[in-house]
Structures are given as C-alpha cells and as structure tokens.
C-alpha cells in the first residue's frame, strides 16, 4: 500500500467547488491507499487567528461534509486527522526549519501573494507554514504499513509550489543527515475548477457565492435563481453566450443529463430559452446530486461521534509522527537523556 495525504483548512462548511476540485478525486483513493485526511486547524490560524469559534465549528462541519460525500473513516486505512492534536508535527516543523533556507519561503508564491496583500502584517506563522506543511506531509515517512515510496498528495494547482518546497526540504534534510524522509508527488487531476454563483473565480462563504454541500433545498433554489448568467443578454429572445456563463458551467459540472444540457445550450445560443428555464433545470440537477449528500449529512449529524472519529484517526497519525520524529531527532544527533 502507498500513502495518500491531503489537507484542508477548516474555515467553513465545504461547497460544490470543494467537491469538484478535491473531494471527488479523494473518494476512489480510499480503496487502494493508506489515506490521511488532515484538518489543518493550526494552518487556519495563519488567516483566522481571531476566530476560534469559527474554526471549531468548521472542524465539525468538515468532518460531516467528508462523511456525507462518502469518505469512510471506519475503513482501517482511512484516517481523519486533527493537526493541532499532534504536537510532534510542530516539533518536526521546527527541526525541518533548520535545513530550510529562508529564501525558499520568501520565494514561495503563496507567501509572495500574501505579502502583496497584507504587507508588514504577514505573520511569521504564515511564512512558516511552508515548513509546517512539509511536516504535515513528511510525518508519514516511517509508516510500516506502506512501501517506501512517494507520498501522493491530491491538491489543487495552487498547492503545487508548496509540494515542491516540501520536497526541497525533505531532500535537504536527507542530504545533511542521511535518508530519513520520503518525497511527495502532487496529484492534480482532471478536476474542474468551478466558479462562484456570481461568476467570480474566488469562491467563499463570505462572498456569498457558494452552494454548500449540505445546503437545504430552499438554499439551493435561492442560490441558483440568483446566479449570474450572460450579462450582455438583455432578454430571453436574443441569442446568449454559453462560454464562461456560470449557469452552464454548473450544468456541465453537475447535470448528468448530457442531452438536456446540449439542447439548452443550443436554445440559449439561438435565443429560444430564457434564463429561468435554464436555472430551473439546474435546480433539478443539483437536487439530484445534493439530496443524497444532504440526507447522509443529517443522518451523521444525528448519529456520528465526530470527536471520536477525529480522535481515532489522529491517534493513528500521531503514532506515526512520533516514530518519524524520533528517527529525525536521532538522525540529527540530538542529545538523548535516555542514554
Ligand atoms: N495548504 C492547504 C490549502 O490551503 C491545506 C493543507 C494543509 C494541506 N496541510 C496540507 C494540503 C498537507 C496538502 C497536504 O488548501
């Protein structure tokens, strides 16, 4: 068996963008891999340090969302992991930082973007998360259940520079102290990138442009009815543009009735269908997709012991982290009080 590890920052309930960009790619991996799904709540502090209640609630929402879409922590190879409950990760971060030239962080794309946005307000913690994310991934290196192989990390395109840094850090450590860490490989699938309901490429709850995976039928309906379409189209009887039109992007992603979608596109371009009909059909398609997820979410909400699920997966991950950290400390020649 090989290892898959991926993570998410808990900042709110997951939405259709997460499903298309990440979750649908994770689901089949549960069959063949040792899977660690990490809730990176310490990393969430890099942007939400003043919102502990939001993070606490989001942790539980993420677990429910994961269960609702079909991740299965009851399988022996699937582990839901809470980052802040593994102190060894933070020690590992510190040790890895010693072999990490500061310039690697200064040239990390996310760090550059954040500095452009926040200037001097960017915290050391934010810059440091390049190393912290390396620890998140590399702690799995000593897993006796998997072959010595690359750790597979399913992520969005935006995370690829981080994984490159993770490998640079792993190699720098191995060069300095002998073979200790595996390297990792991004798994950037054919995943679609969704846009917000307003057509914006940045999707977030605070923008009010997302449809959550466990949204009620009424919320789905309201969100679709409020979706942006072709801004240049002034009435239903003139030709409209399908390309880049949010309503059709959603149809393409979630409507399994391909013939219906093709017919709607033809009629839209011919000026023989109005936005309302296109949206009504989208509501039906999204309901087909979301109703089972919503139902499972409610079921788990009533019956699942979220803390126990997280505690269980975290315990397994922590044992690995302890073993890998021990190996790293030995490799570095730290003085041992045990003789
Ligand atoms: N940085 C990732 C994001 O913002 C989340 C994350 C934290 C992660 N630790 C990870 C992803 C380890 C992959 C592997 O989406």
DSSP string, 276-338: HHHHHHHHHHHHHHHHHHHHHHHHHHHH--HHHHHHHHHHHHHHHHHHHHHHHHHHHTPPPTT
Helices (H), the chain: 16-18, 24-26, 41-48, 52-69, 87-97, 102-106, 109-118, 124-138, 160-177, 217-225, 246-254, 258-270, 275-303, 306-332
What distance in Å separates the CA atoms of residue 153 and residue 10, rounded to the nearest whole number? Answer: 18
State yes or no: pLDDT of 147 exceeds 70. no
The answer, yes or no, to whether any atom of ligand 1 lies below 6 A from the CB of 83, is no
β 2-8/33-39 pair status: parallel
State yes or no: pLDDT of 145 exceeds 90. no
Q: Which two tokens stand for residue 19?
A: 């499903």
Which residue's entry shows tokens 């799995």? Answer: 140
Choose which residue among 136, 139, 161 to substitute to test ligand 1 binding: the one with the highest number of ligand atoms within 8 A of its C-beta.
136
The answer, yes or no, to whether any atom of ligand 1 lies below 6 A from the CB of 186, is no
Give 137 Cα–ligand 1 centroid separation in angstroms: 9
What distance in Å separates the CA atoms of residue 97 and residue 79, rounded to the nearest whole number? Answer: 27
* Structure confidence at residue 149 as a pLDDT band (50, 70, 90): confident
State yes or no: pLDDT of 192 exceeds 70. no
- pLDDT, one tens digit per residue, over 76-134 is 999 999 999 999 999 999 999 999 999 999 899 889 999 999 998 999 999 999 999 99
Give 7 Cα–ligand 1 centroid separation in angstroms: 4
The helix/strand/coil state of 140 is: helix
Ligand 1 atom closest to the CA of 136, numbered from 1:
12
- Res 143: pLDDT: 76
- Res 338: pLDDT: 86
- Res 206: pLDDT: 86
How many residues are present in the chain? 339
What distance in Å separates the CA atoms of residue 174 and residue 180, rounded to the nearest whole number? Answer: 6
The answer, yes or no, to whether any atom of ligand 1 lies below 6 A from the CB of 8, is yes
- As a whole-number percent, the residues of the chain with pLDDT over 90 amount to 86
Nearest to 6 by CA among 21, 17, 180, 16: 21
* Structure confidence at residue 189 as a pLDDT band (50, 70, 90): confident
The mean pLDDT of the chain is 94
The helix/strand/coil state of 173 is: helix
> With contact defined as beta carbons under 8 Å apart, do 233 and 241 qualify?
yes
**Weakest mean pLDDT among 142-151, 263-272, 295-304:** 142-151
The answer, yes or no, to whether any atom of ligand 1 lies below 6 A from the CB of 152, is no
The answer, yes or no, to whether any atom of ligand 1 lies below 6 A from the CB of 130, is no
Give mean pLDDT, residues 1-5: 92
The answer, yes or no, to whether any atom of ligand 1 lies below 6 A from the CB of 184, is no
- Res 191: pLDDT: 62
- Res 171: pLDDT: 97
Give 6 Cα–ligand 1 centroid separation in angstroms: 6
- Res 186: pLDDT: 94
State yes or no: pLDDT of 35 exceeds 90. yes
- Res 78: pLDDT: 98
- Res 156: pLDDT: 84
Residue closest by Cα to atom 7 of ligand 1? 7
Which residue's entry shows tokens 């200037």? Answer: 119
* Structure confidence at residue 205 as a pLDDT band (50, 70, 90): confident
* Structure confidence at residue 190 as a pLDDT band (50, 70, 90): low
């Amino acid at each position: 068996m090989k290892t898959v590890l991926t993570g998410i920052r808990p900042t709110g309930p997951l939405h259709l963008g997460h499903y298309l960009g990440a979750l649908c790619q994770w689901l089949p991996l549960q069959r063949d891999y040792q899977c660690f799904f990490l809730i990176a709540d310490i990393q969430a502090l890099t942007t939400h340090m003043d919102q502990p209640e939001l993070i606490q609630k989001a942790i539980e929402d993420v677990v429910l969302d994961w269960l609702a879409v079909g991740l299965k922590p009851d399988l022996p190879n699937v582990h839901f992991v809470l980052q802040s409950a593994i102190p060894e990760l933070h020690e590992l971060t510190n040790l890895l930082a010693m072999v990490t030239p500061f310039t690697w962080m200064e040239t990390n794309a996310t760090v550059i973007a954040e500095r452009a946005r926040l200037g001097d307000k960017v915290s050391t913690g934010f810059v440091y998360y390049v190393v912290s994310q390396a620890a998140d991934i590399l702690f799995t290196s000593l897993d006796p259940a998997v072959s010595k192989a690359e750790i597979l990390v399913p992520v969005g395109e935006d995370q690829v520079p981080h994984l490159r840094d993770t490998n640079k850090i792993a190699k720098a450590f191995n060069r300095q102290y002998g073979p200790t860490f595996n390297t990792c490989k991004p798994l950037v699938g054919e995943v679609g990138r969704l846009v917000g309901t307003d057509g914006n490429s940045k999707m977030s709850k605070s923008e009010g442009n997302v449809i959550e995976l466990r949204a009620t039928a009424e919320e789905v309906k309201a969100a679709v009815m409020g979706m942006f379409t072709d801004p240049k189209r002034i009435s239903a009887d003139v030709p409209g543009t399908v390309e880049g039109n949010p309503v059709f992007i959603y149809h393409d992603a979630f409507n399994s009735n391909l013939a219906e979608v093709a017919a709607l596109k033809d009629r839209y371009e011919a000026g023989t269908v109005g936005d309302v009909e296109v949206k009504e059909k989208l509501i039906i398609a999204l309901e087909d997709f979301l109703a089972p997820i919503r139902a499972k979410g409610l079921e788990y909400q009533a019956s699942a012991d979220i803390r126990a699920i997280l505690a269980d997966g975290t315990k397994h991950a922590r044992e690995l982290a302890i073993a890998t950290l021990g190996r790293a400390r030995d490799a570095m020649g730290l003085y041992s009080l045990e003789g």
